[in-house]
Amino acid sequence: MYSNTILIYSCNCIDMADYQDQQFLEFIIKAIVNHPDQVKVTRSVDERGVLMTLDVEPTDIGYVIGRHGNTIRAIRTLLKVVGAKNNALVNLKINEPEGGQRERRSETVSTMDDVDTSAIDNLDI
């Protein structure tokens, strides 16, 4: 009977080690967003490794990605280190939130027909 208790305890430790990557990702993301209660991380395992899927508030997606993607690149690197420690390949996918897509730059730039250039038309340069 004593050995069964140890066996159950060992299984609980293995399960806890499997979810360290999910807990780590939640901790990091909740620390950098403005709405930590809206952070949701789902974890799935298949033959290619572990896939972590991240859902955040649409206004917080910029904080997660960072300038030029530097923040998300660093988070993915850290997840790979955590995965390597547990002999797993960990990938991160960010679900695009509803309304999180911004206008394209070409759509926001006005054409020259809309600009009043009468003030500088008669300059002799």
Please give the residue range of the domain that contains residue 79.
Answer: 14-98
Tokens of 90: 């960990």
Q: Look up the CATH number of the domain holding residue 68.
A: 3.30.300.20
The 10 Å Cβ neighbour count of residue 94 is 17
pLDDT at 117: 76
119 in any annotated domain: no
Reference 49, options 29, 21, 11; nearest CA is 21
How many domains is the chain built from?
1
61 within 8 A of 97, measured Cβ to Cβ:
yes
So what's the pLDDT on residue 73?
Answer: 96
Q: Please give the pLDDT value at position 100.
A: 56
Q: Which residues of the chain have pLDDT under 50?
A: 1-17
pTM for this one?
0.65
- Does the residue 109 lie in any domain? no
| Angle (CA) 48 24 86, round 5° | 45
Q: How confident is the model at residue 86, as a pLDDT?
A: 85
Distance separating alpha carbons of residues 16 and 80, to the nearest angstrom: 18
